[in-house]
Amino acid sequence: MKILKNNSFIVGTGIYLFSNIINAIIPFILLPILTRYLSPEEYGQVAMFQTLIGGIGAFVGLAFVGAASRKYYDSNLSKKELAEFIGTCFQLSLISLILVCVIIFLFQVKISSWLALEPIHIFFAVFVAFSSVVMSLRLGQWQVRKKAIHYGVFQISQSLLNMLLSLWFVICLLDGVNGRVNAQTIASLTFLMVGLFLLNKEDLIKYLVWKKEYIEEVIKFGIPLIPHIAGSFLLLSVDRFIINREIGLAEVGVYMVAVQLTAIMGVVFDAVNKAYVPWLFDKLKENEHKQNKKIVKLTYLWFLLIVIGVLIIFFTGPSVVVFIAGEKYAQAASVIGWLALGQGFQGMYLMVTNYIFFSKRTGMLSLISMTTGLLNLILLIVFIRIIGLEGAAIAFAISMGVRFLLIWFIANKRYAMPWFSFF
C-alpha cells in the first residue's frame, strides 16, 4: 500500500480514470434519453454543433494551452513569470476569439446553410470553444502539479451541470435541439468564469502583461500546432460534415451514436495519458537508458491491451448499440467496430506523440496531422460514395493507423528510444 501511495503515476492514473469515467458516464446516460426525445435529424444537428466546437478550438487558442503546461517544466522559472506567461496565452486566445467572431459574422448565412445550424448556434459554438480553452488552462496547471483530485472535481462538476441543464431543457421543457445547445453553452460559460476565478485565486494568471519574448514563445509553440489541431479535426470530426452533405443529417445522428459509444475508449486513453505525461517528462529529463527500456516495455504492453479491447468491441459492439440507443439507430452497428479500431490507433498515438511535445519541435506533428487529415477527407468522399455510412468509419480507421505510424517514426527522431532493443 505504501508503494502504491508513493507511485504518483499509478495513483494519478486511478484518479484521472475515475474522473474521466464519471465524465464519460454523463453523456452515456444522456445518450439513450436524447435518442428517444430527439429524432435522428435533430440528433444530427446536435452532433454538428458539437463537431463545430472542435473545429473552432484550433482557432480560438487551443494551440496555446500546451505552451502554458510545457512552460512549467522550464528551469529557474518563478511563479510570477509563469503567471505572466499564462496571461499571455489568455490574451492571444482572446484576440483569436474576436477575429473568429468577426469572420463568422461576415459569413454567417453561408456557414449556417452549410452546417444546417442556426446562426446563433454557430456563435454559441465559438464561445463554448473559447470556454474550453480557459478551462484547459486551469486544468493543465493542476495536471503538471499532479493535483489529480482538483482536476477531477472541476471536470466532473462541469459535466454534471451540463447534464442537469440538458435534462431540464430537453425533457422538462421539451426544447429539443435548442435545449441541448443552450445547456452546453450555459455550463461552459459558467465554468469559464470559475476557471478564471481559480487561476486568479492562486495567482497563476496576470492579465496586464505584454512581454514580447512571451508572445514570441507562445506563438512559436502554438502556431505550428494549429495545422496539427486542424489536421486532427479532419481526422476526428470532418466525417460528420461529409456524411451530412453526401447522405443526410439523419445519418449523422446515427453515426454520432456509434462515435459516442466508442468514445469510452478515448476516456481511458486520455486518463492514462494525463497521469503519464508528468511522469514521462520527469523520466525523459533524466535520459537514463535503463529507464527508457522500461518505458518502452510498458508502452508495448499498453499497445497489446488496446488491441484486445478493439477485438472485444468488434464482436460485442453491434448488439450494444441497439440495446442502448434503440432500433431507429440500429444502423450504427455497422460502423462501431471500425470506429473502435480508429480509437485504438488514437490510444497508441498518444503514447508516442509525447516525445515530440517534450522536444518542443512540433513542426512535423502539424505536417503529419494535416497530411493524414487530408487523406481521411479523400477516403471519406470515395468510401462513402461506394460503401455508404460504413465507408466513413473505414476511412477513419485507415487514416488513424497511418497517422500513428508516421508520428511514431518522427517521435523516435526527436527523442530516440530503444523501441527495437529494449531487452
Same domain, 216 and 277: no
Which triple of cell numbers denotes residue 343?
A: 480509437
Looking at the predicted structure, is the pLDDT value of residue 8 above 70?
Answer: no
Q: Is residue 158 part of a domain?
A: yes
Cβ–Cβ < 8 Å for 330, 385: no
Q: CB-based contacts of 209: which residues, under 8 Å, 6+ apart?
A: 84, 87, 88
Q: How many domains does the structure of the chain reveal? A: 2
Looking at the predicted structure, is the pLDDT value of residue 11 above 70?
Answer: no
Q: Is residue 366 part of a domain?
A: yes
* Average of per-residue pLDDT across 270-275: 80
* Average of per-residue pLDDT across 400-423: 85
What pLDDT is stored for residue 57 in this prediction? Answer: 79
What pLDDT is stored for residue 56 in this prediction? Answer: 85
Mean pLDDT, the chain, rounded, equals 84
Same domain, 33 and 96: yes
Q: Is 60 helix (H, G, I), strand (E, B) or coil?
A: coil
**Maximum Cα–Cα distance across the chain:** 62
Same domain, 329 and 211: no
Q: Is 72 exposed, middle or buried (0-12, 13-18, 19+ CB in 10 A)?
A: middle
Buried b (16+ CB within 10 A) or exposed e, 157-182: ebbebbbebbbebbeeeebbbebbbb
Looking at the predicted structure, is the pLDDT value of residue 1 above 50?
Answer: no
CA Rg value for the chain: 21
Q: Domain range for residue 106?
A: 8-223
Looking at the predicted structure, is the pLDDT value of residue 340 above 90?
Answer: yes
Structure confidence at residue 9 as a pLDDT band (50, 70, 90): low
Q: In the chain, what percentage of residues exceed pLDDT 90? A: 30
Same domain, 174 and 297: no
Distance CA 204, CA 210 (A): 16
- What's the helix, strand, coil split of the chain in %, to 5? 85, 0, 15
What pLDDT is stored for residue 3 in this prediction? Answer: 46
Looking at the predicted structure, is the pLDDT value of residue 7 above 80?
Answer: no
* Average of per-residue pLDDT across 195-210: 89
Same domain, 261 and 322: yes
Looking at the predicted structure, is the pLDDT value of residue 232 above 80?
Answer: no
What pLDDT is stored for residue 192 in this prediction? Answer: 95
- The residue with greater pLDDT, 141 or 286, is 141
Enter the DSSP assignment of 77.
Answer: -
Structure confidence at residue 191 as a pLDDT band (50, 70, 90): very high
Looking at the predicted structure, is the pLDDT value of residue 5 above 80?
Answer: no
Which segment, 31-40, 254-263, 387-396, is predicted with the most confidence on average?
387-396
Structure confidence at residue 182 as a pLDDT band (50, 70, 90): very high
What pLDDT is stored for residue 348 in this prediction? Answer: 94
Q: Residue 155: which of 39, 284, 16 has the closest Cα?
A: 16
Q: Residue 46: which of 55, 35, 60, 32 has the closest Cα?
A: 35
Q: Is residue 332 part of a domain?
A: yes
Q: Is 225 exposed, middle or buried (0-12, 13-18, 19+ CB in 10 A)?
A: buried
Residue 372 Rama label (left phi>0; alpha psi -120 to 50; beta): alpha
Same domain, 188 and 285: no
Same domain, 177 and 302: no
What pLDDT is stored for residue 423 in this prediction? Answer: 63
Same domain, 284 and 184: no
Looking at the predicted structure, is the pLDDT value of residue 269 above 80?
Answer: yes
Same domain, 214 and 273: no
pLDDT digits (tens, 9 = 90+) for 358-394: 777 767 877 888 899 899 999 999 999 999 999 999 9
Looking at the predicted structure, is the pLDDT value of residue 112 above 80?
Answer: yes
Q: Which of 208, 223, 238 is the last residue of a domain?
A: 223
Q: Which of 223, 243, 266 is the last residue of a domain?
A: 223
Distance CA 319, CA 351 (A): 31
Q: What's the predicted TM-score (pTM) here?
A: 0.73
Same domain, 261 and 167: no
Any idea how long the chain is?
423
Same domain, 261 and 388: yes
Looking at the predicted structure, is the pLDDT value of residue 14 above 90?
Answer: no
Same domain, 206 and 353: no
